[in-house]
A and B are shown apart, each in its own frame.
Chain A
Amino acid sequence: NAGVTQTPKFRVLKTGQSMTLLCAQDMNHEYMYWYRQDPGMGLRLIHYSVGEGTTAKGEVPDGYNVSRLKKQNFLLGLESAAPSQTSVYFCASSQRENNEQFFGPGTRLTVL
């Protein structure tokens, strides 16, 4: 099993550009999450999904959109990137809401 994979690993954007980060899991997990990690601030939840076709806002959802069209995939979109969105983005999945989360390797995004 590959576990949780993320695409791409690195990306540089200019302010105002858009992009989509892809997360895929092969563990048949119901729950998926997007976090951002900034220096000194730990992990902050952006959006999450409790099943195919459902999404919900986390702690810092502004400027991001998500979609969960297939159970195994969770997409994070930035419609108009801003320098404040420079961060490392992690995707995670879990079987249920209280179970341990499995993390992907991260995507390092820089917005100039």
Chain B
Amino acid sequence: GDSVTQMEGPVTLSEEAFLTINCTYTATGYPSLFWYVQYPGEGLQLLLKATKADDKGSNKGFEATYRKETTSFHLEKGSVQVSDSAVYFCALSDPYFNKFYFGSGTKLNVKP
């Protein structure tokens, strides 16, 4: 069945460091891929998305490229800020099964 696998956290970085959070997926068909962010005490917010292979989603300095050949959608940011501290969820939407799958989440701590 479909699934999303994220790197386990927490990830702790210093401010201005480079961020990568790995996400790989298994899906039948051609899924859309998403990154959501959850700030403390809040619900999930869509951060970025990509709907087909080689698409790059970007928002607020974050980027992720839909790589069909490696079934990956890694989240990157060149210079993190303290305000980026949150939990990040990778997700996929599979049109074949009409299902939405979330990864387990990766907590990011950014220290000043």
Contact = CB atoms under 8 A, between A and B. Distances in A.
Interface of A: 4, 33, 40-43, 45, 90, 92, 94, 97-106
B70 interface: no
Contact of A43 (B32, B95, B99, B102): B102
Interface string B78-112: 00000000000100011100111011110000000
Interface of B: 32, 34, 36, 41-46, 49, 89, 93-95, 98-100, 102-105
A42 B103 contact: yes
A100 B49 CA distance: 8
Nearest to B95: A98
Given A40-B104, A98-B32, A98-B95, A90 B49 contact: no
A100 B46 contact: yes
Contacts of A100: 34, 46, 49, 93
Nearest to A94: B100
Contacts of B34: 100
A105 B100 contact: no
B91 to A, nearest CB: 8
A106 B41 CA distance: 8
Contacts of A98: 32, 93-95, 98, 100
Contacts of A106: 41-43
A101 B43 contact: no
A36 to B, nearest CB: 12
B32 A90 contact: no
A27 B45 CA distance: 16
A106 B42 CA distance: 7
